[in-house]
Structure 1
Amino acid sequence: MWFEVKFEKCDLVICDEVGDISFDKAGAELLFNHLSLWAGRKPTIITANMDIERWNEIFPALALAPTPN
């Protein structure tokens, strides 16, 4: 895909305000899979103006177990 080529050239990946956009299941899975791959290889920043407990609204198939700091 064209965006994969562009992201490979980036030194940093930033996804800002992820919670502002609703995704269907396929879109959420695609975004999650790509973010997972990028996070393992490149510095990655994801922001959302919502509590992490609500991230399942963005990524319904994602099981998050937040740990308090």
Structure 2
Amino acid sequence: MRASSDFCKKFIELSVLARQCLDRRIPDQQPLQQGFAAWQQSRNAQNHTVDWHFTTADARVRLKRLYPSIQP
């Protein structure tokens, strides 16, 4: 589960990057690298965390059909 959680976090960060920095045409690689570095420093300084919409227990109830039931 940890690997998928890390993947989700990375996917969310990539989505934030796309919305905040990549919403325009970038002429070449240098402005892209500079913009990304500035965005990364700002994002790290703000220390954002992922705000999951519900807890693991809630997910198990709501998504019960997706969790396999193991019979002993």
Same fold (TM over 0.5): no
TM interval, shorter chain, is under 0.3
Q: Which of the pair is proportionally richer in helix?
A: 2
Query: If the length of structure 1 is used for normalisation, what is the TM-score?
Result: 0.28
Query: If the length of structure 2 is used for normalisation, what is the TM-score?
Result: 0.27
Specify which structure has the bigger relative contact order, considering alpha-carbon pairs within 8 angstroms and separated by 6 or more residues. Answer: 1
Q: Which of the pair is proportionally richer in strand?
A: 1
